[in-house]
Structure 1
Amino acid sequence: MLKRLNLIRTAVMGIFGTVAVWLNAAPTGTMTTVTPDGNCVVVRALSDNIIRVTNAPRGVKPSHTQAASMKAEKFNGKIVKNGSQIVMTLPSGLEVSLNTASGATSFTGGKERLLYDSGVRTTASDGRKSMSLVPAKGGSFYGAGERGHSFNIEGDTLVMYNRQNYGYGEGDPRINQMNICIPLFVSNQGYGVLFDDYAAAELVMSDPITYTTEAEAPISYYFIYGADNLASVTREYTRLTGRQELPPFWSLGYITSKYGYHNESETRGVIDTLKNAGYSVDGVVLDLYWYGKETDMGRLEWNKEQWPDHRKMLADLKAQGVNTVLISQPYINKIGAIDNYNQLAEKGMLTHDAQGKINDVTTWVGEAGMFDVANPDTRRWLRERYRTLTDEGVGGWWGDLGEPEVHPETIVHANGEKARQYHNVYGNVWSSIIYDLYKDEYPDTRLMTLMRGGTTGLQRYSVFPWSTDVSRSWAGLQPQIKIMLNSGLSGLAYMSHDVGGFAIDKENPIDPELYVRWLQLGTFSPILRTHAQEFAEPYHYPEYADELLDLVKTRYRWLPYNYTLAYENASQGYPMVRPLNFDTHGATPYDSITDEYMWGSEVLVAPVLQQGARKRDIVVPDGTWIDYNNPDVTYHGPSKISYDAPLNVLPMLIRAGAFIPQADYEMDNTGDYDASRYTVLYYPRSNVTSDYVMFEDDRKSTSSLDNGEYALITFRGAASKSSITVDIDMSGDYPGMPTEKTITLVLPGIKSSNIKSVTENGRVRTITESADKYFTLTVTLTRNEPLKIVLSL
């Protein structure tokens, strides 16, 4: 019978030049056709929301890179044939149609067609391959990796080839092409498209959207459906490409860094100075001087003169709660690291040209070899070096220059790919060396790797990217929000920046006002790490010592909220820094807002980015919002307000009904965090109901989510003109979890004098707080024993 069906299929193809293997599609969620020009089109549902489309000549394998990490799920939809159309309908509301004659594919959500693929593929005389997609009218587009020129990338031509831009700032045309290029666009109409490629390419965001690549294989792509909003697209995209694991808890504290700390004495002195000034510190980053000097790049060995007892230093710093992060690069200098160069060259572990000869590179510190991470032997050699150093007490890793910054096009990597084909994925492979090392040798240790180069799926390797060598200028500060927004929608939730600005103006190396404003932004960024060529640490700005110290203390006070954001990223893929329209559907007036953002779903942050500014306009989104700095003031959106912002004020608004858990006590470092007590700010407003789920675990385990070893504390609030009700419930458990928690509930904007009576689980509580202060109530929470607090107004 099967043989007969195959004969019939062959006969049909011979007569019509096309065949739809739709009868076999339903069980596997796959639709297939062969077009008259001989291309085989395969449309496959990996899930109810993710569709993979391949279109390649018969007998030619389409692209299939490292981009996707998920396995196809059980098909829950229906596939029917209707004339020349095969139609796949999925429970998510997505409908996909394949034309059996042309190979055209349409994606429809609800009643609206979102995207159309004509099925046409072209190859130019130089071998570059192109395809086009027609989007629905009226949409805006975001993503594409690290992009600082604009938030909405509609109409842009985006080069997909990682590039370093030293000393950049706002308005610099270079920053539409930065260090992490991801061939992804996300539409505010509720979908995204990821091209399954990492070769040098160009993405033109016009109508049609055109993708042109230098890859050898015909390009596949993924259609990602998120009918509700950008949040849904991001959730599905990270399901496809992988989610970042929970971070080391210490990475959410303050990290000090500089180019660079030259020796052990200087490093110890910086930490002592910060601590003596009252700063909490959780990390110190050592730039290239840990191995000696610039021309020692690639030694990957401590310089004994500058660091006479590095093991003791690492141990002493760790005892103070300070984790040490070391830099490494893709290059082996032929002066200071010649021994490693010769060893690697002899074993064929350096990059070669097409003739098999070593292809050296010219870096900013001289001639060097380049690690060919496409070679398994090279990866093993690097892994052993990283293992030895980690065993000595190194707490994290920094992969610098990983675009790679210098990558001659004459190089052919060990896997046969040319430099322009392998360039973008180099950072992923490099990151995977460290990630796999930790999984194998340190399975109970969470990893932090600073990395500035890579492509799709980089987040899978516990990477904390940063926006590289930004200028210390107001222009340098201004694109950072756009960079974090586009990166976050591209899966890079921990994108941050050199707080204070890296590349200094030698004529004006210190700008105290700029430093304060930058630290304000950094306090509510995924990672708070000061870094610069000079004057990196906050104690260099004594005229604003109080303001700077308060910002770092604020960072630690917000740890419970920030750690919950990390949980939302690990479990849902949501970024920490979110656009104002992240949770809304369709076109909104917020697409062009690039100087404010959501910190999670509850907090709007509107940093001051202009020199000398002491007030700024804020676009207030839909809903009711409370002024964080003055909770007696309420705003209603959509609207625009003028906000007073003296230098010691970071403008912030809190969504009405929000719960904001705080650790309201002094910490020397995150090791002083106390999971048995929280201060929770609650912002009730009449006729607003809300809920918030706070996450906690032991803050160390690498498997707490997988093993269910965590707790969720759920807060629900409801307010009317006559009462305010708060329900608190705790579920779950983990090793070392406190049996009881002291919750101090604070209602900013609600005076104690406005409260007539209080009951806790039906029992009357005495109101003892001062009448002119905001209402505060302390309760004890026990697992599986919910609390109901009712305030009569």
Structure 2
Amino acid sequence: MKKKRLFPLVLFTLCIQFCYAGHIERLKDGLLIRLDQPTAGGVKQVKLQVITDKIIRVTASANDSISATPSLIAIVTGAPDVKWTSEEKDNKVTLKTGELTATVNLGTGEVLFTDKAGNIILQEKKGGGKTFTPENIDGHPLYKVQQVFESPAGEAFYGLGQHQTGLMNYKDQDVDLTQYNSVAVVPFLVSSRHYGILWDNYSITRFGDDRKYEELGKLLLYNKEGKPEGLTATYAFRKKPDSIFVKRNENKIDYTFIPSLKDIPAGYPMAKGIITWEGSISPLTDGLQKFYITSSGYIKIWIDGQLMLDKWREGWNPGPSVFQHQLFKARKHAIKVEWIPESDQAFISLKQLSPTPETLHNKIALTSEAGEKIDYYFVYGNNTDEVIGGYRTITGAATIVPKWALGYWQSRERYKTQREVISTVQAFRKKNIPLDNIVMDWSYWKQDAWGSQEFDPARFPDAKGMIDSLHSIYHTHFMISAWPKFYKDIDNYKLFDNKGWLYKQNIKDGQKDWIGNGYVSTFYDAFNPDARKLFWSLLSKHLFSKGVDAWWLDATEPDIYSNSTIEHRKELMNPTALGSSTQYFNPYALQNAKGIYEGQRKENPDQRVFILTRSAFAGIQHYGAATWSGDIASRFDELARQIPAGLNFSLSGLPYWTTDIGGFYVEDKYDQPDPKGADLQEWRELNTRWFQYGAFCPLFRSHGQYPYREPFNIAPENSQEFKSMLYYDQLRYRLMPYIYSLAGHAYHDGYTLMRGLIMDFDKDTTVQHIGDQFMFGPSLLVNPVYTYKARSRKLYLPANTGWYNIYNGQYTEGGKYITADAPLDRMPLYVKAGSIIPIGPALQYTSQLPADTITLFVYTGSNGKFSLYEDEGVNYNYEKGQFSTISFNYNEASKTLTIGKREGSFPGMLKQRSFRVVKANGAGLNFDTKNGKLISYTGEEQNIPL
């Protein structure tokens, strides 16, 4: 019998070897394909690696081998236990899993992905779309790499991190993936066609058109007199605009970085100036001309009399803006740019690109400055949640934040003394304003000791006692700012310097920062694992030992010296422990967070690590890290830009995000010395509207420069503004059973808390471009108000479901736009039919009371479900299975709510509790309603008719 079996096995083995001889090699987890006739600058090898049934990694090389340099973002390798087959036929080789097929053209290396039915999901550009351009970087041979894919009309794209240009759908847009204060790069792209691309490259990358933006002078420029001599640039005085300092013709507007400020006319007082550029422009080709702006101060741009941009940002932090405008080569298009710099360190740049080339129409292009290979993961799913779940399969699950972190945080720039910290928390408790976290911003150290990680004893005489009292008396947690920055020659600097673990270029330059008369400093190299351990040891010794609960990691782009050119920024962090800063420009924040996460978990395995970082990268969610949107302006237009920025960040696979409620830096009208009259009213309304929005962000946090940001410092306690902020703070805490359940599902099920409408309503194409509304969990449609004095707003109710106004219970069928009331004290908020929302008790802090009784508000009209998730809230026992879930299911046909049997358990779990079941139709949300049915629950299934 054994001999009879042996012959077919040998024959099969020989067949496999024959079939794959030469250019195809079967690996334990995929295929390696060697092209017979690679083209110049093209691919020689393509490797398909099976990760799961729905995830395939594609690597490609222009060399005779594929680099095996370990990934910084992937925690998975191949999965040899996943069943797959392969076949070679018609000059193609296919790899097939249970869910999808990847086909490689043996002549071009082109990869095609199809589903089980053979439908195309994604295909690389005809011919393969792979380009390798040799680059010698710091003496190492690397490549500029590009991968182009086909993209059918009607497809929409999201993700790519946090970009504050106001865009939601990135189809036919260009996105610059360069880390910067308020720009957080995550190279994960999500398609409306239910797939994602995780681009495993760490250098500066461009999505879309990879051509460099060009000076305005590449267009035909005419001055105010119509002469082809450039635009008329007028440098005048702001308070006397008719008093002109100098007027001249200029063919560019390019004061982008510090070195370019030397081109400002000598002696011109920018802080007192107003500059205009006027004339007309004519393109070389017809079409949508692209414009890219970075600016600080006040800027307005008009083209053909149409106001295209009206923006303000603080002088030291220019931010990006983009727009497109139809231009015709046979026409002169009027242009006017007005800039009020406000300071001598303000920046402006206006660049342009001709219309997108035909070769990139209906394409996806990813282009990176430096890499050893092309390396991407194709992630497929039945819906966007599955796609994001696939991203987390590759990069790591999103750890559950400590429960207290989902409560309200108070911060300001900055609490200067121990007394200010304690008195602020005392005021919250006295006024019964819910609070869970107080935040210590920078400069708690001695002025000349940045990097010491030690409190200045003159201002914080007993830091440990302060933190102990916050914990034991006020039940408040304490987060502290921890920069990777060290002043030259302090003791901690020397510890790193002796090991060679510092970036030294800024030391050589002798460049001083902005503190006092200035101090010379640099950052540590977070790409070095031993340097990361040393950094943690300093935080542990000086801060964690005193009871610090969480870490605020600032300037992690890294921002070693602000407003440097990109090339100088590379010099400032070069070399890294892994290689050239050009190759490793973007993931500093990931490495820095990883060191703190691993250090704290090793030192205290029973305390959840929690990190807030200004920058981000793929995989950072695995290291207990959330991100905030950086140093943004206190303006309504800036509030508007936060909404799509946060949604795309969440669609990048990172579930925890927040923004400075009220914006970080303020215009002079709010700050000198205090806002008054109309300015005061606008300030209060801005903070109120931002607070309403912030209550439905994954993290709920107020922070900013003076004026102080505590609700009672913004508006009087009898005002509409204060009462509104208090209402939404209280609502946030009442929703804690709902919110913490979402956090649990984010870890266990790959869920996303803050949801672009494309996630839940992808069959409704109207939602593809909507970036100013979102779902908070499965039930709540959030519609922020971001226009001053608006008392209503237009919003879209997605189709194929009904919607209830949460405040009055009024029902409206979906699939249409409505104009919703938005009085000053309320933001439009709707509940999807079929929702079950658990509401907990009134709380002053998250751990004050157990969630008993929970009121279940059931919104009928459709079947509905919700799963209540609970665990201990502070440790990692949930990773060991110590948690519980209780399912709620509403059946519309039988009008019955089923409370399911409790699954799982954990120490301290409520074994007996009460649920109050309320049919919510036709009435507003009432926290303390006594209506409905009170149910005693001991863990067994119950059916409740409604």
TM-score (norm 1): 0.88
1:28 equivalenced with 2:32 (yes/no): no
Tell me what 1:498 maps to: 660
Tell me what 1:16 maps to: none
Tell me what 2:769 maps to: 592
Identity of aligned residues (%): 26
Tell me what 1:164 maps to: 181
Tell me what 1:651 maps to: 828
Aligned ranges for residues 321-720 of structure 1 at < 5 Å? Answer: 321-334=475-488, 338-352=490-504, 362-365=512-515, 366=518, 367-388=520-541, 389-406=543-560, 408-410=569-571, 411-509=573-671, 510=680, 511-534=683-706, 535-540=708-713, 541-542=715-716, 543=719, 544-585=721-762, 588-665=765-842, 667-685=843-861, 688-704=862-878, 706-720=879-893
Structure 1 residues 10 and 590: CA distance shift in structure 2, 3 A: closer
Give the superposition deviation at 1:652.
1.0
Q: Which runs of 5+ in 2 are unaligned?
A: 1-9, 136-142, 210-359, 562-568, 672-679
Give the superposition deviation at 1:584.
4.0
Measure, in 1, the Cα distance between the counterparts of 2:634 and 2:802: 33
Give the superposition deviation at 1:397.
0.5
Give the superposition deviation at 1:538.
0.6
Task: Output the amino acid matched with 2:829.
Answer: M
Tell me what 2:454 maps to: 301
Specify the SS of the correspondent of 1:465: strand
Tell me what 1:239 maps to: 393
1:121 equivalenced with 2:275 (yes/no): no
Measure, in 1, the Cα distance between the counterparts of 2:36 and 2:838: 58
Give the superposition deviation at 1:352.
3.8
1:200 equivalenced with 2:204 (yes/no): yes
Contact 1:631 1:749 in 2 (8 A): no
Give the superposition deviation at 1:585.
4.3
Give the superposition deviation at 1:142.
0.5
Q: 1:85 aligns with which of 81, 92, 107?
A: 92
Tell me what 1:55 maps to: 60
Give the superposition deviation at 1:587.
6.6
Structure 1 residues 58 and 613: CA distance shift in structure 2, 3 A: same
Give the superposition deviation at 1:6.
13
Measure, in 2, the Cα distance between the counterparts of 1:211 and 1:684: 45
Tell me what 2:47 maps to: 42
Give the superposition deviation at 1:655.
1.0
Q: Deviations over 1:333-383 (max 9, x none)?
A: 23xx63333443233221146xx9967665444421221122334222211
Measure, in 1, the Cα distance between the counterparts of 2:457 and 2:907: 41
1:252 equivalenced with 2:413 (yes/no): no
Contact 1:261 1:289 in 2 (8 A): no
Give the superposition deviation at 1:750.
5.5
Measure, in 1, the Cα distance between the counterparts of 2:764 and 2:934: 43
Specify the SS of the correspondent of 1:239: helix
Structure 1 residues 345 and 745: CA distance shift in structure 2, 3 A: same
Task: Output the amino acid matched with 1:776.
Answer: G
Contact 1:46 1:72 in 2 (8 A): yes
Give the superposition deviation at 1:749.
2.2
Structure 1 residues 241 and 376: CA distance shift in structure 2, 3 A: closer
Contact 1:115 1:136 in 2 (8 A): no
Structure 1 residues 402 and 363: CA distance shift in structure 2, 3 A: farther
Task: Output the amino acid matched with 1:349.
Answer: W
Q: Deviations over 1:375-412 (max 9, x none)?
A: 33422221111112212111111100000113632242
1:190 equivalenced with 2:194 (yes/no): yes
Task: Output the amino acid matched with 2:570.
Answer: E
Measure, in 1, the Cα distance between the counterparts of 2:507 and 2:501: 12
Task: Output the amino acid matched with 1:563.
Answer: Y
Tell me what 2:365 maps to: 210
Give the superposition deviation at 1:60.
4.3
Specify the SS of the correspondent of 1:478: helix
Structure 1 residues 523 and 508: CA distance shift in structure 2, 3 A: same
Q: Deviations over 1:709-736 (max 9, x none)?
A: 111111111234xx62111022221111
Give the superposition deviation at 1:470.
1.0
Tell me what 2:934 maps to: 778
**119-128 or 256-265, which moves further after superposition?**
119-128
Structure 1 residues 36 and 596: CA distance shift in structure 2, 3 A: same
Q: Deviations over 1:531-573 (max 9, x none)?
A: 0101211111113322221111111111000001101211222
Specify the SS of the correspondent of 2:841: coil
Contact 1:113 1:136 in 2 (8 A): no
Give the superposition deviation at 1:65.
2.0
Aligned ranges for residues 140-151 of structure 1 at < 5 Å? Answer: 140-149=156-165, 150-151=167-168
Measure, in 2, the Cα distance between the counterparts of 1:72 and 1:145: 26
Measure, in 1, the Cα distance between the counterparts of 2:525 and 2:896: 61
Contact 1:55 1:62 in 2 (8 A): no
Measure, in 2, the Cα distance between the counterparts of 1:716 and 1:700: 29
1:66 equivalenced with 2:77 (yes/no): no
Measure, in 1, the Cα distance between the counterparts of 2:510 and 2:598: 28
Q: Deviations over 1:402-426 (max 9, x none)?
A: 0011363224234252223223111
Measure, in 2, the Cα distance between the counterparts of 1:307 and 1:6: 76
**425-434 or 631-640, which moves further after superposition?**
631-640
Task: Output the amino acid matched with 1:163.
Answer: Y
Give the superposition deviation at 1:99.
1.5
Task: Output the amino acid matched with 2:491.
Answer: D
**56-65 or 471-480, which moves further after superposition?**
56-65
Tell me what 2:314 maps to: none
Report how many aligned residue pairs link the two structures.
736
Give the superposition deviation at 1:213.
1.6
Contact 1:31 1:98 in 2 (8 A): no
Q: Deviations over 1:458-479 (max 9, x none)?
A: 1111111000111011012111
Tell me what 2:895 maps to: 724
Contact 2:737 2:838 in 1 (8 A): yes
Give the superposition deviation at 1:237.
1.2
Give the superposition deviation at 1:59.
2.7
Q: Deviations over 1:64-119 (max 9, x none)?
A: 42121124332223322222122222222x22111222211101234432222233
Specify the SS of the correspondent of 2:765: coil
Q: Which runs of 5+ in 1 are unaligned?
A: 14-18, 166-177, 753-768
**599-608 or 414-423, which moves further after superposition?**
414-423
Specify the SS of the correspondent of 1:430: helix
Contact 1:145 1:487 in 2 (8 A): yes
Structure 1 residues 357 and 682: CA distance shift in structure 2, 3 A: closer
**634-643 or 624-633, which moves further after superposition?**
624-633
Give the superposition deviation at 1:63.
6.0
Tell me what 1:106 maps to: 112
**117-126 or 107-116, which moves further after superposition?**
117-126
Tell me what 2:465 maps to: 312
Q: 2:378 aligns with which of 218, 223, 244?
A: 223
Measure, in 2, the Cα distance between the counterparts of 1:683 and 1:669: 28
Task: Output the amino acid matched with 2:840.
Answer: A
TM-score (norm 2): 0.74
